[in-house]
Amino acid sequence: MFSYILKRIAIAIPTLLVLIVISFVLMHAAPGGPFTAERELPPEVMANLNAKYGLDDPLWKQIGTYVWNIVSAFDFGPSFVYKDRTVNEIIAQGFPITLTYGLISFVLAVLVGVTLGVAAAIRHNSMLDYIAVGMSIGAQVLPNFVMAPILVLVFTLWLGWLPGGGWQGPEYWILPVIALSTSFMASIARITRSSMLEVLTSNHIRTARAKGLPERRVILRHALKPAMLPVISYLGPAFVAMITGSVVVDIYFSTGGIGKAFVDSALNRDYAVMMGVTILVGALTIFFNLVVDILYGWIDPKIRY
């Protein structure tokens, strides 16, 4: 198990480095330097800026400096547009907000999705099953950027129950969490249902039932664990998609999360912030995939270490 984890970490680190290098090279190859896009600056100012940000150095040295700053001090450097702010400050401001509703959404999607999927599988071909299947088809065509305006329309404008934007207390969390988690909930429910249906026909379940175990114990102790494997391998992609989706939530609900900073920097051509956010998200993704891999190895006895 230990060497398995080490092997996974050995893959994760080069992945992160590749991501950093790719995004740096992309930025460097962009037509026009970061400072030529907005307006003409006096050559002296350009030279100052270049010297300050190390843009005069050869490419390999810039990459080296950039990577070293991130690895050694977690320092993403100064913003290219705001003169008095660093990328770290911008990230630190938005990240906790995104993390809060992101985590709530993720946990909710997994809990409700798995429960719904298991219930649908146990009562196969019942009304509940059809509702679960119908919901998961519906949620496929209702991604977060469709859910968000519909939710605001119904719950804020028509019913007036919930605030449609801002970030001042738990009642502001509800709509973002629903908008973000619904499609994942549906996907998890669908995956759980089909995998549970498959597991329930397997031999060890028949044995457990033949032993006379109560149904609850059969499901919870014997069926749930193997049925979770496809769900766990879905969690990695789901996590990426959720982080991506949080950009929409941040924009539409004005939650002030990190997605807002990302889109603003995209509109301002503030490459430093964009790269910082991209690398942070990449690092989170890689870390999360690592956790999923380890979890998978722990649950699936067939996996070779």
Partner 1 sequence: MVSTRENTVSAQALPAKGRSPWADARRRFFRNKAAMMGLVILVFVALFAIFGGYAAQWSNEELDYNVMGQVAELGGPSFETGHYFGTDDLGRDLFARTVQGTQISLAVGVVGAIIACVVGTLYGATAGYAGGRIDGLMMRLVDIFMAVPYMFVLILLLVMYGRSITILFVGIGLISWMEMARIVRGQTLSLKGREFVEAARATGVAAPVIILRHIVPNLMGVIAVYVTLLVPLMILTESFISFLGLGIQEPLTSLGALISEGAGTIAYGTTWQLGFPLLFFCLTLFGFFFVGDGLRDALDPKDR
By three-state DSSP, how is residue 176 classified?
helix
| Comparison of 140 and 207: residue with beta carbon closer to partner 1 | 140
Smallest gap from Cβ 111 to partner 1, in A, equals: 25
Residue 245 CA to residue 145 CA, distance in Å, equals 8
Backbone angles phi, psi at 32, to 5 degrees: 80, 135
Structure tokens at 45: 């100012």
* Region 9-38 residues binding partner 1, contact defined as CB under 8 A: 11, 14-15, 18-19, 22-23, 26-27, 29-31
With binding defined as CB under 8 A, does residue 213 bind partner 1? Answer: no
With binding defined as CB under 8 A, does residue 294 bind partner 1? Answer: no
Smallest gap from Cβ 150 to partner 1, in A, equals: 8
Smallest gap from Cβ 249 to partner 1, in A, equals: 11
Residue 128 CA to residue 182 CA, distance in Å, equals 17
Nearest CA to 112 out of 180, 173, 205 is that of 180
* End-to-end CA, the chain: 6
Nearest CA to 292 out of 230, 247, 226 is that of 230
* Region 105-144 residues binding partner 1, contact defined as CB under 8 A: 137, 140-143
Smallest gap from Cβ 286 to partner 1, in A, equals: 5
Contacts of 258 (CB under 8 A, 6+ apart): 91, 94, 95, 97, 98, 246, 250, 277, 280
Size of the site for partner 1 (CB under 8 A): 47
Beta bridge partners of 86: 78
Smallest gap from Cβ 219 to partner 1, in A, equals: 25
- x/- mask, partner 1, residues 227-256, rule CB under 8 A, reads -------------x--xx--xx--xx----
Return residues touching partner 1 (CB under 8 A).
11, 14-15, 18-19, 22-23, 26-27, 29-31, 137, 140-143, 145-146, 148-150, 152-153, 157, 240, 243-244, 247-248, 251-252, 262-263, 266-267, 269, 271, 274-275, 277-278, 281-282, 285-286, 289
